[in-house]
Structure 1
Amino acid sequence: MCSQDRPALKTENCKLNPVLLDALRQKKKTIAVIGLGYVGLPLALAFARQFRVIGYDISAERVALMQQGEDPSRELSADAFVGTDIRFTANPDDLRHAHFFIIAVPTPIDDYKVPDLRFLQRASDEVGRALKPGDYVIYESTVYPGCTEDDCLPILEQTSGLRLGPDFKLGYSPERINPGDKARTLVDILKVVSGSDAGAANVIAAVYGRIIRAGIYTAPSIKVAEAAKVIENTQRDLNISLMNELAIIFDRMGIDTHEVIRAASTKWNFLPFTPGLVGGHCIGIDPYYLLYKARQLGYDPQVIHSGRRINDAMPAYVATKLLQKLLQHGKNPRQTKVLIMGLTFKENVSDIRNSRVADLVQELMNYSISVHLVDPHASPNEVARSYRMTLLDTPSAQYDAVIVAVGHDVYKSLDIAYFRSLMNGSPILLDLKGLYTLNGETDIDYWRL
C-alpha cells in the first residue's frame, strides 16, 4: 500500500511509471550514481546487482582503482564488485546515457563553518547537461531543508533547458550509511525517500525498494526528508555535547564520568551516550547546515550552537588537561614527546575527514610538545595531504604520555603494561574513549573523559 503513515511502505500496488521501471529492470535504461565515496560507491554497487549502472566520480585516480575492483575508501572488499553491472567513469559525458540520476557528493563546510555547496553545484550542472525528458534526479547529499529545490533545481533547469514536472522529476533520499558497521549495511537500514510529486515519490520508492531489504518510508515532501536527515545528526551532536560538558564538570568533582553513565544506564529510559571528540563528515558538519538556514530565516538557534561550541572546544580541553599533567609531573612541555593513537573520525574506518584528533595534534604543538601519530586504518598519504602530518608505522618508545583518541578494535585488547612499556618515568595515559580499566596499578597517571 502507498500510505504515508506507515514506517515501511510497500510499493508494488502503487500507480507507478511502468515505462521507466520496466526499462530499468530490463536494462534498457541506466542508473547513474554521481560521487563514489563512502555513500555513493556502496549504493552504486547495490543497484548494479539489479540494474545497469554508471558510477561517476571526478577523481580519475579513484575511478582507476574501482575499475580494478578496489574501494579507495577501503570500506568494501573486492567481493562487493563481483556480479555487478557497473561501468566506472570520470568522464561527465558518459552521464548522457543515464536516465535515473543519484547525486551523492560531499557537502562540507568552509573555514567559516558556512555550507560549501560547490560539489553539489558542480554535480547538478553535470547532471543538467545530461538530463533528458522523462529523467529522474535524486539527491542523497546531506543539506539544509530547501536546498534541493531552492539551490539545486534552478541549476538543473537552467543547464538542461527542461522544467520540473512536465519534463523531469526530482527527489531526495537521505543517505544512512554507517561507516565501519558490518552488521547494518546499506540494504539493512530503512530508507527514507521523497519526490517532487506523489507519482515521482512512488517511482523513487519502487526503484530503491529493489535493493533495500529493511523497507522504504516515503516522506510527504522533499523538505521533510531533508530536515529528517539533518536532525538525525544534530540530535546525536547535542547528546554528545551534553556528555562532554558533564565530563568537564565531573572531572572538577573528581568523579569518573563513565562510572556515572554506567550507574545512570540502569534506568530503562536513560540514553548512554559517551563523551569524546566529535568529527567526521556527518555529526560534526550537519548541524552547521541547520544553523545556516535558521539564521537566513532570522532565527539564531541557541541549543544547537551551544552544542557545537562545546564539541568544537574539546580538542583544546584535552590538550590543556595533558599540559596540566605534564607540569604536575615536573615535565617541561618543550622537552616532551607524546604519542597519539588513532586519527580517523571514528573506530575501525579509514575516513580522516574533519578529524578532531588533527585539531588535538595542533593544540599540543601550540605548546611546543613533540607529537607522534599512529593509526592502523588511516592512509599515510591522505594524512600528509590533508593535514601535513606524518603517520608512523609503529610507535617508538620513551614517550612522556600516550593519548588513545580512537577506539579501534585493535586498541581494545591492549593492557596497561603495554602502555607502560612505551613510556619513560611518570607515565601518563589519556584514554579518550574509556577503553581501559586500572587494576590496582598506581605507577601510571590514568585519565579518561
Structure 2
Amino acid sequence: MMSLYQKIINRQEKISLVGLGYVGMPIAIAFAKKAEVIGFDVNTAKIALYKSGIDPTNEVGNEAILNTTVEFTSDEKKLREAKFHIVAVPTPVNKDHTPDLSLIESASHTLGRNLAKGSVVVYESTVYPGVTEDICVPILEKDSGLKCGVDFKIGYSPERINPGDKMHRLENIVKIVSGMDQETLDTVANVYELVVEAGVYRAQSIKVAEAAKVIENSQRDINIAFMNELSIIFNRMGIDTKAVLEAAGTKWNFLNFYPGLVGGHCIGVDPYYLTYKAEEMGYHSQIILAGRKINDNIAAYVVENIVKQMIKANKQIKGSKVAILGVTFKENCPDVRNTKVVDIVRSLEEYGMDVKIVDPIADQEDLWQEYRINVCKIEEVVGMDAVVFAVAHDEFKSLDLKNIKKMFKSRSLESVAEATDAQVGSRQDNCVLIDIKGIFSKKEAEGLNYLYWRL
C-alpha cells in the first residue's frame, strides 16, 4: 500500500496550508515546487492579492506569487481535497499577557469540519507544551467526528522563518519535526525534507518540539533584556553602550546581542506562553518575566530620553515637531504587529507633540487598521525639532548625516543673535537626533553638532 508521503510526491494527494501570513505563505510557495498545494486563509482581501500575483509580506516577492501553482482560496471546503495539513496561524497574547489561542482554535474548528480520514495535521504555531494534544486535538475530533490516532494523526513542527531575513529562509534552517507515533514522525519528516535543504531534527515528542520553540525566543528575549539593562546603566555613567559591546565582542565566546525595542509576534510574545504554563504548574518565573518587564518598558525609557534631549536643546515640548523614521517591528519587514514604535508615537502625542511617521516598507493598510496611523514621505519631513530613527531599514542606513540636517528647523538669524555666546557654542544647531538602533556614527553626528542619543 502506497504511503501518504509517496502519494504526495506522486501528486495524488495534496498539502494544505491553513493561514497564509509571513510564515504560512512562504511554506506554501516552497511546497508547491514539489507537490499539489492548497493555500487557505479566511482573509479574502489577502487571497485576492495573492491571486493577482502580489506579495504584501515581501517574503518571496511578487514574481514567486505570480508563478506559483498554489491554489489560493478562502473556501474552507477546498481543505477536503488535502490529506496533509499544516496550520500556521498567529498565536498572540491578550492585554494581560495570557495566551490568546482563539486563532489556533478557530483554525482547528475550520480544519475539523473538513478533515478526511487518513489525514495528518501538523501545527506550526508557537504554543506552550500541551496545546497541540490537549486543546487542538479535542476540537479536531469533535468537529470531524473522527478519532485521533485511528482516523487521523497529528504532529508539530515549529516555524523558524525570520520575517525580513533574506539569509535565513525555510530552506536553509534545520526544521524540528515531531509526531504522535513513529509512523507519523516519519511521514512529517519525509514531507518537510522535500523543501528543507538543511534537513530535519526529529524531536522525541510533540511536547518537546513545542517547548523547544518557545524557549528559542525566550532565550533571545532575555539576552536583549540584558543589553537593554546595560544601556540604562551605561547611559547613567555617560558611557556609550555600542562602544562597550564592540570592545567586549572581541572575546571569542561573547554573544553578540544589542539593545533595542522588542516587538513583533515572536520574541515579545512567546515567553509569556512559557511563563503562563509555568504558573499553571505552580512555578512563578523569575528570569523570564524580569526580562519581559525590562523589554516591555524600553519604549517608555526611549521617550523619557527623547524629552530630556529636547529640553537640553531648549525645545518647547508641547507643539514641537518630531519625525519617527520606521514603525515596523523590525528592519526590512512590512509587519507592524505588536510594534513597540507605536508606544513611542502615542507617548510623544500625549506630550502634545506633532508626530510625523515615515516608513516606506510598512504595510500601510495594517498600520491604519490596527493603529489608525498614516505615514508620510521622507521629503515631507521638514522643520523638525527632533528626528528619531526607530527602525534600521536599509533605506534609512543609506541616508547621510549632512542631508538629515535638512529635516530640522533652520534657526533664524534673529534667534541666533538673541542667543548668548554660551548657548550658540554649546549647541549650534539644536538638532536632536535619536538613533535607537545605532545606525550612525556617534562621533560623526556630534562632529556635525547634533544632540545625539542612542540606546
TM above 0.5: yes
2:381 to 361, 375, 396: 396
CA contact (8 A) 1:105 1:141 kept: yes
Q: Structure 2 stretches of 5 or more lacking a match?
A: 410-428
* Cα 1:335/1:81, change in 2 over 3 Å: closer
CA contact (8 A) 2:173 2:198 kept: yes
Give the counterpart letter for 1:429 in structure 2: L
Does residue 414 of structure 2 align to residue 408 of structure 1? no
Give the counterpart letter for 1:298 in structure 2: G
What does residue 352 of structure 1 align with? 336
Q: Kindly state the Cα deviation for residue 83 of structure 1 after the two structures are TM-superposed.
A: 5.2
1:327 to 291, 304, 311: 311
Aligned runs of 1:166-177 on 2, under 5 Å?
166-177=150-161
Does residue 427 of structure 2 align to residue 443 of structure 1? no
Aligned runs of 1:52-91 on 2, under 5 Å?
52-81=36-65, 84-91=68-75
Does residue 157 of structure 2 align to residue 163 of structure 1? no
Q: Distance in 2 between matches of 1:47 and 1:429?
A: 46
Does residue 180 of structure 2 align to residue 196 of structure 1? yes
Q: Distance in 2 between matches of 1:336 and 1:351?
A: 29
What does residue 327 of structure 2 align with? 343
1:365 to 341, 349, 374: 349
Give the counterpart letter for 1:422 in structure 2: M
SS in structure 2 at match of 1:373? strand
CA contact (8 A) 1:49 1:83 kept: no
Q: Distance in 2 between matches of 1:331 and 1:83?
A: 54
Q: Kindly state the Cα deviation for residue 201 of structure 1 after the two structures are TM-superposed.
A: 0.4
Aligned runs of 1:3-152 on 2, under 5 Å?
18-81=2-65, 84-152=68-136
Give the counterpart letter for 2:114 in structure 1: A
1:385 to 369, 394, 408: 369
Q: State the identity as a percent.
A: 49
Q: Kindly state the Cα deviation for residue 82 of structure 1 after the two structures are TM-superposed.
A: 5.5
Q: Kindly state the Cα deviation for residue 364 of structure 1 after the two structures are TM-superposed.
A: 1.1
Q: Distance in 1 between matches of 2:161 and 2:345?
A: 28
Aligned runs of 1:230-309 on 2, under 5 Å?
230-309=214-293
SS in structure 2 at match of 1:272? coil
CA contact (8 A) 1:143 1:230 kept: yes
Q: Kindly state the Cα deviation for residue 303 of structure 1 after the two structures are TM-superposed.
A: 0.6
TM-score, normalized by length of structure 1? 0.94
Q: Kindly state the Cα deviation for residue 75 of structure 1 after the two structures are TM-superposed.
A: 2.2
Give the counterpart letter for 2:91 in structure 1: T
Q: Distance in 2 between matches of 1:298 and 1:418?
A: 56
What does residue 433 of structure 2 align with? 429
Q: Kindly state the Cα deviation for residue 370 of structure 1 after the two structures are TM-superposed.
A: 1.4
The CA deviation string for residues 370-411 of structure 1, in whole angstroms up to 9 with x for no partner, is: 111001101332211111112112232111111100001111
Q: Distance in 2 between matches of 1:211 and 1:331?
A: 56
Q: Distance in 2 between matches of 1:436 and 1:396?
A: 19
In the alignment of these two chains, the number of paired residues is 433
CA contact (8 A) 2:58 2:164 kept: no
Q: Kindly state the Cα deviation for residue 18 of structure 1 after the two structures are TM-superposed.
A: 3.8
TM-score, normalized by length of structure 2? 0.93
Q: Kindly state the Cα deviation for residue 25 of structure 1 after the two structures are TM-superposed.
A: 1.4
Q: Distance in 2 between matches of 1:191 and 1:380?
A: 32
SS in structure 2 at match of 1:143? coil
SS in structure 2 at match of 1:170? strand
Q: Distance in 1 between matches of 2:340 and 2:3?
A: 49
Q: Kindly state the Cα deviation for residue 314 of structure 1 after the two structures are TM-superposed.
A: 0.7
What does residue 418 of structure 1 align with? 403
Q: Distance in 1 between matches of 2:139 and 2:238?
A: 56
CA contact (8 A) 2:178 2:205 kept: yes
The CA deviation string for residues 99-143 of structure 1, in whole angstroms up to 9 with x for no partner, is: 111000111111211111111011101111111221100000011
Give the counterpart letter for 2:453 in structure 1: W
SS in structure 2 at match of 1:335? coil
The CA deviation string for residues 246-302 of structure 1, in whole angstroms up to 9 with x for no partner, is: 000000000000000000001000001000101111111111111111111111101
The CA deviation string for residues 305-326 of structure 1, in whole angstroms up to 9 with x for no partner, is: 0101000101110111111121
What does residue 207 of structure 2 align with? 223
CA contact (8 A) 1:108 1:285 kept: yes
Give the counterpart letter for 1:404 in structure 2: F
Give the counterpart letter for 2:122 in structure 1: I
The CA deviation string for residues 144-191 of structure 1, in whole angstroms up to 9 with x for no partner, is: 111101111110111111111111110000001111121222111111
Q: Distance in 2 between matches of 1:396 and 1:442?
A: 19
Give the counterpart letter for 1:434 in structure 2: G
Q: Distance in 2 between matches of 1:357 and 1:41?
A: 26
CA contact (8 A) 2:330 2:391 kept: yes
Q: Structure 1 stretches of 5 or more lacking a match?
A: 1-16
The CA deviation string for residues 414-448 of structure 1, in whole angstroms up to 9 with x for no partner, is: 22212222112411001001111133615210111
What does residue 8 of structure 1 align with? none
